Chains A and B, each alone.
Chain A
Amino acid sequence: MPIRTVMKANEAAAWAAKLAKPKVIAAFPITPSTLIPEKISEFVANGELDAEFIKVESEHSAISACVGASAAGVRTFTATASQGLALMHEVLFIAAGMRLPIVIAVGNRSLSAPINIWNDWQDSISQRDTGWMQFYAENNQEALDLILIAFKVAEDERVLLPAMIGFDAFILTHTVEPVEIPDQEVVDEFLGEYEPNHAYLDPARPITQGTLAFPAHYMEARYTVWEANENAKKVIDEVFAEFEKRFGRKYQKIEEYRTDDAEIVFVTMGSLAGTVKEYVDHLRKKGIKAGAAKLTVYRPFPTEEVRELAKKAKVIALLEKNVTFSVGGALFQDFSRALVNQEEKPILVDFIIGLGGRDVTFKNLDEVLEISKKALSGEEFDEVNWIGLRKEIL
């Protein structure tokens, strides 16, 4: 029987790792993710998890050791955040290019400077061109489930890509919520053993991994990463369906909330989706036709689902905890690209919100609504809006 209990997202991630039975874990402490390697250390120390836990001297070495282990043919896991993920950046490209299905749990945290340990998504969003798949959890149960799902998708022969699962710093990493821990036997059946046919370092069948490619081959190698990301779209749907069948919890790349007949749809990711859904209920009571949508999968980007969603809205308000300077948020860029050649499309309005752990309140969302209404009624509006700025200290 699954165990119903309460735990922090960090503990849920450690439990997911334990259930997935990786053979090698390499990790380095960093706020807010430190509890994950701590908890895994306990599992290993107690004999509850039969894995090598490499206590590396940096995140760069953590991901490098994961690449070595994964290339040797075993399931690998690590956890990090913020500066740690930024330090891994170089090797993230390599892991994807070498088609190694490593899974990272990311306690989404801002990037320096100024140094700040609280939540936004700049760390993982900044890795969006590495070739990694990206999943974002709304709550602690999703953090656990999405790690299991990520292993299954990553190791699929049609995919073979690494994956990161983001969950918001402190809001989830350090907050206790009800979580159901699935049965080990069911997880074993779901994931199976990892026995790669492309990555092993076995003296009985020596292969060379990580070669140099000249211009005659480099583009094709990169194209296979593109292709794998495209394949992943279908595989993710299949795995979501299988997950629902086995564990009873439904996942979708984009989860919609009260979008039928909605004029304004608020789109976001992570724990902010919870706040936004409640705000939508609040607006509906007042007769305002508002809806919400949450991206559970950010990479591969769910283009088709975005186009479907766009048909239902007159204005899409993108609420995002990240920024590309002089451009706007990542979702704004990605939604723009998904819709630019569509005949009919909603107006997109971008909102940079909640950076560095700034709380997102209904008052902030009222501001979002006012600007979105302007767009809806054909008034002038700013495309990119920083919400909740303390103008008095600027």
Chain B
Amino acid sequence: MAVRKPPITTREYWAPGHAACAGCGCATALKLATKAFSEAMEEKYGDPNAFAIAQATGCMEVVSAVFPYTAWKVPWIHVAFENAAAAASGVEAAWKKLGRRGKILAIGGDGGTADIGMQALSGMLERRHNVVYLMYDNEAYMNTGIQRSSSTPYGAWTTTSPPGKYSIGEDKPKKWVALIAAAHQVPYVATASIGNPFDFVRKMKRAAKVDGPAFVQVHCTCPTGWKSPLEKGVEIARLAIETGIWPLFEIENGDFFNIKIQAPGGGAKVKREGGRVVAIEFKKPIEEYLKLQGRFKHLFKRPEAIDEMREQIKAMWKVLGVDVTLPKPGE
């Protein structure tokens, strides 16, 4: 009987028994990321274990390394909240002097990356360390109990952006760290999502294989912080892609003019010119994404806020060189 090859290695580096919440999308992201990394190292160096992880303080750190236990089957270090990129720089330099082949994977959440770790990230990218930085983006400080970060999307409820008489919830547009990373003209930058695991794995492998720094920003659902059903994590993440909320793109060497944009699916019509995506007509309204999450519940009484969100999404796509049309429900 023919046995079908599994789509990704069955080797596990992120062991079961970690203490993440049920339905945690970030745990899924780390599981896939380490598998992808291992495949890349095997293909590049013939050694699937040729990597180490430097991780920022955050959800995925506290759930994975509670003394005397560890979920990590790979050399792993945690130093503090804001310095995963700097610690990874040191590990990489040490490996270079030890003559060790392989690559360092730095991991941080959106708070540890977009906010407090921004400077260390910029330094690591600018110095061209052979490090992949993976930002798992669940769009708020979840470890401390759901406070807004600069990566929290417009309109979202968090404990520090509560909706009220004078507030619609978070009132600033989301900061896209991937674009800032790309401005460092590093070899490879991508956005990804657990809603499209094959695309994510492909990008992680690409990032792991390039010589020099790479940055991947992966969208991960957080049922606890998003107030969303545990079992719908992947579905919600996919809806973010299909409605235009979460763009999937790749930028090599900071070449914004040749940005690669992945088709979002969900019936969206993609218009290309010379191979380049120039326009996308989305078919699913963003409300389909928003309505599954308690963090956006209040917006349904404030339709003008959802319209404002649509405008911000269009503006974000404009930065990527893409004109988008976003339908309203029923259109």
Contact = CB atoms under 8 A, between A and B. Distances in A.
B75 interface: yes
B80 A208 contact: no
Interface string B123-152: 100110000000000000000000000000
Nearest to B55: A210
Contacts of B250: none
Interface in A174-202: 200-202
A169 B97 CA distance: 32
A27 interface: no
Interface of B is mostly: mixed
B76 A209 contact: yes
B123 A68 contact: no
B316 to A, nearest CB: 28
B96 interface: yes
Interface stretch (A48-56, A332-340, A345-353): A48-56
B97 A210 contact: no
A282 to B, nearest CB: 50
A193 to B, nearest CB: 12
A58 B123 contact: yes
B74 A65 contact: no
Interface string A249-293: 000000000000000000000000000000000000000000000
A68 B94 contact: yes
Interface string A43-85: 0000000111011111011101111111111101000000000
Contacts of B102: 203
Contact of A61 (B52, B94, B119): B119
Interface of A is mostly: mixed
B181 interface: no
B120 A206 contact: no
B180 interface: no
Contacts of A62: 86
B82 to A, nearest CB: 7
B148 to A, nearest CB: 23
A217 interface: yes
Contact of B65 (A50, A70, A210): A210
Given A64-B79, A91-B79, A55 B90 contact: no
A52 B130 CA distance: 13
Interface stretch (B43-51, B188-196, B283-291): B43-51
Contacts of A384: none
Contacts of A377: none
A325 interface: no
Interface string B66-85: 11101011111111101101
B66 A76 contact: no
Interface residues of A, number: 45
Given A26-B90, A60-B83, A61-B86, A72 B122 contact: no
B50 A211 contact: no
B91 A60 contact: no
Contacts of B123: 56-58, 61
Contacts of A214: 66-67
A90 interface: yes
B322 to A, nearest CB: 33
A97 to B, nearest CB: 10
A24 interface: yes
Interface in B85-101: 85-98, 100
A210 B77 contact: yes
Contact of B89 (A54, A90, A201): A54
Contact of A208 (B62, B76, B126): B76
Contacts, number: 160
Interface in A199-234: 200-204, 206-214, 217, 221
B79 to A, nearest CB: 5
Contact of B127 (A54, A58, A74, A211): A54
Contacts of A206: 49, 72-76
B90 A68 contact: yes
Contacts of B88: 68
Contacts of B236: none
B186 interface: no
A39 B101 CA distance: 30
A158 interface: no
Contact of A203 (B65, B75, B83, B126): B75
Residue in A90, A94, A210 whose Cβ sees the most chain B Cβ within 10 Å: A210
A217 B86 contact: no
Given A24-B93, A61-B120, A65-B90, A211 B83 contact: no
A203 B74 contact: yes
Nearest to B93: A52
A23 interface: yes
A203 B95 CA distance: 11
A67 B87 contact: yes
A212 B323 CA distance: 46
Given A72-B52, A72-B91, A208-B70, A56 B86 contact: yes
A56 B83 CA distance: 12
Contacts of B75: 200-203, 206-207
A144 to B, nearest CB: 24
B54 interface: yes
B96 A52 contact: yes
A213 B79 contact: no
Contacts of B50: 203
Given A58-B119, A61-B120, A61-B123, A73 B83 contact: no
Given A58-B119, A68-B54, A90 B70 contact: no
29 contacts: A24-B93, A50-B97, A56-B86, A57-B122, A58-B120, A60-B86, A61-B83, A61-B119, A64-B80, A64-B86, A64-B87, A65-B86, A65-B87, A65-B93, A67-B79, A67-B90, A68-B92, A69-B94, A70-B90, A71-B91, A73-B94, A74-B97, A201-B75, A203-B74, A206-B74, A208-B65, A208-B77, A211-B70, A212-B61
Q: Which 8 A-B pairs have the closest CB atoms?
A: A68-B90, A57-B123, A65-B90, A72-B94, A210-B78, A64-B86, A61-B86, A64-B83
Interface of A: 23-24, 26, 50-52, 54-58, 60-62, 64-74, 76, 90-91, 94, 200-204, 206-214, 217, 221
Interface of B: 47, 49-52, 54, 61-62, 65-68, 70, 72-80, 82-83, 85-98, 100, 102, 119-120, 122-123, 126-127
Given A61-B86, A91-B80, 13 more contacts: A24-B97, A26-B90, A56-B123, A57-B122, A58-B120, A68-B87, A71-B87, A72-B52, A72-B91, A208-B77, A210-B79, A212-B61, A217-B67
